Structure 1
Amino acid sequence: MAPVLPVLLPLQPRIRLAQGLWLLSWLLALTGGLTILCSGHLLVQLWHLDTFLAPSCPFTALPRLALAASAVALGTGLVAAGASRASLDAAQYPPWRRILGPLLGAGVAGGEGLLVLALGLTLALPGSLDMGLEEGLGTALAHYKDTEVPGHCHAKRLVDELQLRHHCCGRHGYKDWFGIQWISSRYLDPNDQDVVDRIQSNVEGLYLIDGVPFSCCNPHSPRPCLQSQLSDPHAHPLFDPRQPNLNLWIQGCHRVLLGYLENLTSTLGSMLAVTFLLQTLVLLGLRYLQTALEGLGGIIDGEGETQGYLFPSGLKDMLKIVWLQGGGAHRPAPEEVPPEEAPPKESLPET
């Protein structure tokens, strides 16, 4: 049974493999730590923007899975660094010799699997982020006026902080505020005829105005901010509603947040790809070093040449061995073997 992908490893290549693997392992640990920071940062940002994401949006699963995958990569790098350093000393290697096999299996099945799954989510979930922000922002703007409603009393503060921090206004633009009632009913005078006319003219009984909250104002504008009567060309002689409004934030919060979170996701995806590549190289190098030392009894500077390999035999032979060890070819137990029948005695002819 020929081994799979064998590589001849004399003494000097074995030592260089162990030294290079030690350096690569620490690089993997560093990359895993940076990936933890990236995934943690994305998770914190999603936690702050939780109000503006739909509860059914699955995007929050990405940073959690990336956090687990990068933690496994960090552990793999530290373990591989310790094993490669111990392989250079015959007195320190025996404890590692017994556990390297299970550690390699766990690294391939757990670490590589988590990284592949996390990379898949970075490609598949941005579409759900678009829909989640669309629904979440619409709900948050609709509850802007509910400052005294339990469960929604913080919506106004959160929306104002969002628009001031990210320099955005409305969901897709400042005109989104024209279609919702954002002024609380407690500030409306029921005796004012204008208020009564506006409420009665709306099918849903909402008080709608062509104005925006103060948080939509751009404080860097040289002119006073225009917040009301934005659709009336005669209300503000120097303001043209057909031109970009220099007093208000032009972009909607949906576009700003989507671009911001997609940039964080792109950075995290790049870190995951680098981590996956480094972890693959570390696991391959550790496997070749392990199998090479097994041929020398665990002594890296042992006499003679040895070879490292991925698997001791081909896939067909390995499946056959597993089948036989698992009882595929059932052999009856000794007590199940039927006793051999004695040969019939020959009858003597009568004289």
Structure 2
Amino acid sequence: MEPVLPLVLPLRLRIRLAQGLWLVSWLLALASGLTLLCSGHLLVQLWHLGTFLAPSCPFSALPKVALAAGTLALGTGLVGAGASRASLDAARYPPWRAVLGPLLVAGTAGGGGLLVLALGLALGLPGSLAAGLEEGLGAALAHYKDTEVPGHCHAKRLMDELQLRHHCCGRHGYKDWFGVQWVSSRYLDPSDQDVVDQIQSNVEGLYLTDGVPFSCCNPHSPRPCLQSRLSDPHAHPLFDPRQPNLNLWAQGCHGVLLGHLQGLASMLGSMLAVTFPLQALVLVGLRYLQTALEAVGGVIDEEGETQGYLFPGGLKDMLRTAWLQGGAAHRPAPEEVPQEEAPPKEGLPEA
């Protein structure tokens, strides 16, 4: 059977292959290191912003898979650099001959598979991020007042930190605060008739106001920030509520977080797209180098031409042989049928 993709490698080409493979392996190590940094940074950001992301959102799987893929790619780059460096010295190459084959199989199946999976997640998962943030931010606004409820006592602090750090207000704008009760019930006086009327005016029994928390205010503005009675045109004669002059953050937190996380995911996807072809080059180069050196006993400076290849036989013949061998292994052996004994001859009657 003819080998798959054979390549004739004389002495000069073998040496150049080993030198070029050493360079590409270090490029793979560099790219995979940057992939690890990008995936680690995205994982830390998701850890900080996990409160505002729905638990059912699968976006958090992207940095985890990318971390595993980047780790295996880094190992492949270091192995490729070490093997190509050792192949130039006949005394240092023998230890690599026994482990290079299993390492190539593991790098192709494990590293290549994880890289393809991470690339698919980087292309597909950012689309689910918008719905996850929509649900998570809605729950954060609803639990803003629950400062004494177990499990939600930190919702107010986290939402205030989010709005101050990312310069945003509400889910899509400051008017989102008008539809939720964000004032804790312990600050409401049940004997105050205005409070009672405000609660009874809502079918859900919530204390709704046309105001926003202090974290929506821009502290760098030279004018005072308006936090209450924002929809009343007579409450603030010098300000027009229809114009963006209320000294509040204009952007909603949904758009800010969506752009931030999708930007990190795009950067991670770019690094994965660079890492994948580099890993493929390293694995293919190592395979050609391994098969070429096996033909000359592991001595790269042996005179004469050798042949490198990816597989020792044709894929069609290999698959046919494997199929026939598998079928023969599962086919029951024919049972030996015992020969029937000849019936005894009846004695002839005597005359």
Output the TM-score relative to the length of structure 2.
0.93
Asked if structure 2 preserves the Cα contact closer than 8 Å seen for 1:221 and 1:246, the reply is no
Q: How does 1:262-277 map to 2 (within 5 A)?
A: 262-277=262-277
Q: Is the 8 A contact 1:323 1:329 kept in 2?
A: no
Partner of 1:230: 230
Does 1:55 find its partner at 2:55? Answer: yes
- Structure 1 CA distance for aligned equivalents of residues 321 and 293 of structure 2: 23
Distance 2:321 2:101 in 1: 18
Q: Please name the residue that 1:25 is paired with.
A: 25
Q: 1:191 to 1:332 in 2, by over 3 A?
A: closer
Structure 1's 57 and 24: CA in aligned 2 closer, same or farther, altered over 3 A?
Answer: same
Alpha carbons 2:178, 2:210 under 8 Å: kept: yes
| 1:322 shift after superposition | 2.5
SS in 2 for 1:307: strand
Letter of the aligned partner of 1:82 in structure 2? G
Cα 1:159/1:332, change in 2 over 3 Å: closer
Which deviates more, 322-331 or 173-182? 322-331
* Paired position in structure 2 for 1:94: 94
For residues 240-267 of structure 1, the C-alpha deviation after alignment (integer angstroms, 9 at most, x for no partner) is 1111235000000000000000000000
d(CA) in 2 for partners of 1:53, 1:215: 20
Could you tell me how far apart the structure 1 residues matched to 2:289 and 2:166 are?
52
Q: Match of 1:130?
A: 130
2:218 is aligned to 218
Structure 2 counterpart of 1:344: none
Cross-structure match for 2:345: none
Q: 1:27 and 1:65 mapped to 2: Cα distance?
A: 21
Deviation of 1:193 (Å): 1.3
Q: Distance in 2 between matches of 1:15 and 1:66?
A: 34
Match runs of 1:250-289 below 5 Å: 250-289=250-289
Contact 1:169-1:249 within 8 A present in 2 as well:
yes
Write the mapping of 1:148-167 to structure 2, written as runs, cut at 5 A.
148-167=148-167
Q: In the alignment, what sits opposite 2:204?
A: 204
Q: Residue 47 of structure 1: CA displacement?
A: 0.6
| Aligned counterparts of 1:331 and 1:233: Cα–Cα separation in 2 | 88
Sort the Cα spacing of 1:268 and 1:332 in 2 relative to 1 into closer, same or farther, 3 A. closer
2:117 equivalent to 1:117: yes
In structure 2, the partner of 1:144 is 144
Change in Cα spacing, 1:9 to 1:238, as seen in structure 2 (3 Å) is same
For 1:9, give the aligned amino acid: L
Name the SS for the 1:298 alignment partner.
coil
Deviations 1:23-64 (A, max 9, x none): 111111111111111101100100101110111111111100
Query: Quick one: structure 1 residues 330 and 169, their matched pair in 2 at CA, closer, same or farther if it must change by over 3 Å?
Result: closer
C-alpha distance in 2 between matches for 1:94 and 1:323:
35
- List runs of 5+ in structure 2 lacking aligned partners: 339-351
Tell me if structure 2 keeps the 8 A contact 1:80–1:282.
Answer: yes
Q: Distance in 2 between the 1:123 and 1:320 partners? A: 36
Per the alignment, do residues 195 and 117 of structure 1 end up closer, same or farther by CA in structure 2, a change over 3 Å counting? Answer: same
Q: Deviations over 1:315-337 (max 9, x none)?
A: 1111133245546378999xx99
Instruction: Provide the C-alpha distance between the structure 2 equivalents of 1:132 and 1:205, rounded to a whole number of angstroms.
Output: 28
Q: 2:212 and 2:57 mapped to 1: Cα distance? A: 28
Please say which of residues 137-146 and 310-319 is displaced more in the overlay.
Answer: 310-319
Give the letter aligned to residue 11 of structure 1: L
Q: Any idea what SS the aligned residue of 2:307 has?
A: strand
The residue number in structure 2 matching 1:12 is: 12
Check whether the contact 2:226–2:246 (CA below 8 A) recurs between aligned residues. no
Aligned to 1:348: none
CA distance in 2 between partners of 1:255 and 1:19 (Å): 49
The answer (yes or no) to whether the contact 2:292–2:308 under 8 Å persists in 1 is yes
Residue equivalent to 1:104? 104
State percent identity of aligned pairs. Answer: 83
CA–CA separation in structure 2 for the residues paired with 1:156 and 1:285: 56
User: Is contact 1:83–1:96 with CA below 8 Å preserved after alignment?
Assistant: yes
SS at match of 1:49: helix
Mark the CA change 1:329 to 1:187 in structure 2 (over 3 Å): closer, same or farther.
closer
* Alignment match, 1:177: 177
Q: State TM-score, norm by structure 1.
A: 0.93
Q: 1:14: Cα distance to partner?
A: 0.5
Q: Whole-Å Cα distance in 2 between the matches of residues 54 and 23 of structure 1?
A: 44
Compared CA separation, residues 188 and 10, structure 1 to 2 (3 A): same
Contact 1:36-1:71 at 8 Å conserved across structures: yes
The residue that corresponds to 1:43 in the other structure is 43
8 Å CA contact retained: 2:178, 2:209? yes
Distance in 2 between residues matched to 1:337 and 1:3, nearest whole Å: 41
> After the TM superposition, which segments of 4 or more aligned residues of structure 1 sit over 3 Å from their partners?
323-327, 329-333, 336-339
Q: Deviations over 1:107-132 (max 9, x none)?
A: 11110110000000111111211111
Match of 1:347 in 2: none
CA distance in 2, matches of 1:331, 1:337: 15
Number of equivalent positions: 339
Return the alpha-carbon distance in structure 2 between the equivalents of residues 46 and 321 of structure 1.
Answer: 50
- Unaligned segments of structure 1, at least 5 residues: 340-351
Q: Match for residue 168 of structure 2?
A: 168
Q: 1:308 offset after TM fit, Å?
A: 1.1
